[in-house]
C-alpha cells in the first residue's frame, strides 16, 4: 500500500478518524466536517486516486492531516493487510499507533428487482456492505482507543421499502443489528457504536439516482445534501459519547 498523505506539526494530540470510502460523496464530506473540528483522517478509496488526493489537500486546507489508502473492501486479504499495517501508518503520519473513531461508510448501490437480482449482485453487496464492516471492525479493535467511537452507515431503506433495493437494504439491516452487538460487547471499554441512516441524499452514489426521488416524500420538502450527513456524523463522533446502540436517521423526515 502506498498512502497519499500530508503532514503538519501539531503540539497537541488530535483525534484521528478512520473512514472507509472517503474519496467522494458522503465519506469525503464526513472527512471535511471532522477536519473542521480538529480531527485528522485516515481514509480509504478503491479506485479514485485523484479524488483521494483532493481530499488530502482539502483536509490540509482546514489545518488537518490526512492519509488516503487504496483498499478493496470486497477482498478479505486487503482488509487484513490494512488492519495489520494501520499502527505503523498511524505512527508514520500522526506520531501515535492508535485511533479514535471508525466510520464504516464505503459502499455501492444495486437497483434491481428481486426477480432480476443475480447471485453476483447479492454476493458483491454482502462482501462490501456487511462482511467488510464486520471484519474490518474486528481487525482494528486492538488499535481503536478505549473510549473510542464506531459509526456504521446504513440507509433509510431499512425502515421503508423502495422496489429494486431489497438486497442492498437487507445488508444495511444486518449492519444495524451488528451495531447493537458492538455497543453491548464494547461497552466495557467505553466504546460507543451507532448507526447513521441517511435518507435521499444528492450525491453521485448510484449515478445520481437519488436526485430523481420526489422531494415531496420528505417532511422538509427536499432531498438531503452531503453536508446534512457530514455535519451529523461529525457531531455524533465529537459530542455523542453517551449515545450508543442507536439508529439515527438523517433524512429530513422522509416518509414519516
Active-site positions?
A: 168
Q: Which helix (H) or strand (E) holds 51?
A: helix 49-61
**Rounded-to-integer distance, Cα 14 and Cα 40, Å:** 7
Report which of 201, 251, 196 is spatially closest to residue 225, judged by C-alpha positions: 201
Element (H, E) at 99: strand 99-104
N- to C-terminal Cα separation, the chain:
45
Spatial distance between the Cα atoms of 62 and 29, rounded to a whole number of angstroms:
13
DSSP string for residues in 165-233: -HHHHHHHHHHHHHHHHHHHHHGGGT-EEEEEEE-SB-SSGGGGGGGGS-GGGBTTSS-B-HHHHHHHH
144 grid coordinates = 481503536
Angle at 92 between CA 90 and CA 98, to 5 degrees: 20
CB atoms closer than 10 angstroms to residue 231: 17
Amino acid at each position: 500500500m502506498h498512502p497519499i498523505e500530508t503532514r503538519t506539526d501539531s503540539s497537541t494530540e488530535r483525534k484521528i478518524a478512520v473512514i472507509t470510502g472517503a474519496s467522494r460523496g458522503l465519506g469525503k464530506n464526513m472527512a471535511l466536517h471532522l477536519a473542521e473540528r480538529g480531527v485528522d483522517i485516515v481514509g480509504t478509496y478503491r479506485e479514485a486516486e485523484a479524488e483521494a488526493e483532493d481530499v488530502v489537500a482539502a483536509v490540509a486546507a482546514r489545518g488537518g492531516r490526512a492519509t488516503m489508502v487504496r483498499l478493496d473492501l470486497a477482498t478479505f486479504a486487503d482488509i487484513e493487510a490494512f488492519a495489520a499495517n494501520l499502527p505503523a501508518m498511524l505512527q508514520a503520519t500522526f506520531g501515535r499507533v492508535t485511533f479514535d473513531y471508525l466510520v464504516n461508510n464505503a459502499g455501492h448501490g444495486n437497483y434491481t428487482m428481486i426477480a432480476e437480482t443475480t447471485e453476483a449482485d447479492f454476493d458483491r453487496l454482502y462482501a462490501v456492505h456487511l462482511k467488510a464492516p464486520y471484519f474490518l471492525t474486528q481487525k482494528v479493535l486492538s488499535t481503536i482507543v478505549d473510549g473510542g467511537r464506531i459509526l456504521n452507515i446504513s440507509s433509510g431503506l431499512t425502515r421503508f421499502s423502495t422496489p429494486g433495493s431489497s438486497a442492498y437494504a437487507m445488508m444495511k439491516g444486518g449492519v444495524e443489528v451488528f451495531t447493537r452487538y458492538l455497543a453491548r460487547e464494547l461497552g466495557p471499554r467505553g466504546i460507543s457504536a451507532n448507526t447513521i441512516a441517511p435518507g435521499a441524499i444528492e450525491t453521485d452514489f448510484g449515478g445520481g439516482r437519488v436526485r430523481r426521488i420526489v422531494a415531496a416524500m420528505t417532511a422538509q420538502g427536499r432531498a438531503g445534501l452531503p453536508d446534512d450527513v457530514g455535519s451529523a456524523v461529525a457531531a455524533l463522533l465529537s459530542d455523542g459519547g453517551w449515545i450508543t446502540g442507536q439508529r439515527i436517521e438523517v433524512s429530513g423526515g422522509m416518509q414519516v
